[in-house]
Amino acid sequence: MTADGLYPLILASASPRRRELLEQIGLRFTVQSVDVDETPREHEAPDLYVLRMAREKALACQRLPGNTDSLVLGADTSVVLDGVIMGKPHSRDDARAMLQRLSGHQHEVMTGVALAGLTAVRERVVTTRVVFRRLAENEIDAYLDTGEPYDKAGGYGIQGLGGIFVTSLVGSYSAVVGLPLDATADLLAQVDQPVWQWWASGDE
């Protein structure tokens, strides 16, 4: 623990969006991504799946040498349509099929977030309902050409060009982008590391 009572914090993620969101709320942290097997288990419920992924990312990172005395944050985002989990598209055809399925329908975005503390892992899942307007085929093709879909669950980014597909949203915008800020703050408060303490102790 540092003199100001804060533990070192590591974000276990390769997602630039998650890094930007954590920076947005004034936390100081390092980033160390880990590879975990992201295959859902047979009949695994989507909310339990994103929680398990978030937990596995956080714990795999905390187990790395030098990290055992750090708090580690992991997260996982999936798009869920009619109970079926959509991860990141594997190909252009896969991304096209996802966008065609989302077109004109409502889906859920589920983000699990896990904070591995020194003695326990705390976790939360945040579900957001998103409605897409109907997408034209040539619009989907043009979107695929931009390259934006490929590193994003469901094949779109609400914070990017994909923002034009979204008619409405009920829930947490930051959770759709990859990290629910309220739940993250809540988890940090639970381990006596409230976010505002970073504001007070920082020089930024």
Q: Does 109 bind ligand TTP (CB under 6 A)?
A: yes
Q: Does 76 bind ligand TTP (CB under 6 A)?
A: yes
Q: Which long-range contacts (CB under 8 A, 24 or more apart) does 145-150 make?
A: 149/89, 149/95, 149/98, 149/99, 150/88, 150/89, 150/95
Which of 4, 35, 69, 76 is labelled catalytic?
76
Q: Give the residue with the Cβ less far from ligand TTP, 39 or 68.
A: 39
Quote the longest CA-to-CA distance of the chain. Answer: 57
Q: Judge residue 87's burial from the number of C-beta atoms within 10 Å of its C-beta, 0-12 exposed, 13-18 middle, 19 or more buried.
A: buried
Sign of dihedral through CA atoms 61, 62, 66, 71? positive
Q: Which two tokens stand for residue 167?
A: 């008619």
Q: Does 15 bind ligand TTP (CB under 6 A)?
A: yes
Q: Is the Cβ–Cβ distance between 126 and 200 less than 8 Å?
A: no
User: Catalytic residue at 192?
Assistant: no
Q: Give the residue with the Cβ less far from ligand TTP, 132 or 198.
A: 132
Q: Does 88 bind ligand TTP (CB under 6 A)?
A: yes
Nearest to 105 by CA among 86, 124, 90, 91: 86
Stretch that binds ligand TTP, among 72-80, 97-105, 118-126, 180-188 (CB under 6 A): 72-80
Q: Residue 191 to residues 16, 111, 113, 117: CA-CA distances in angstroms? A: 25, 20, 14, 7
| Site map (CB under 6 A) of ligand TTP, residues 115-154, x = contact | ------------------------------------xxxx
Stretch that binds ligand TTP, among 19-27, 133-141, 157-165, 194-202 (CB under 6 A): 157-165
Q: Give the residue with the Cβ less far from ligand TTP, 76 or 192.
A: 76
Catalytic sites, residue numbers? 76
Residues that bind ligand TTP (CB under 6 A): 13-15, 17-18, 33, 57, 75-77, 79, 88, 109, 151-154, 156-159, 176-178
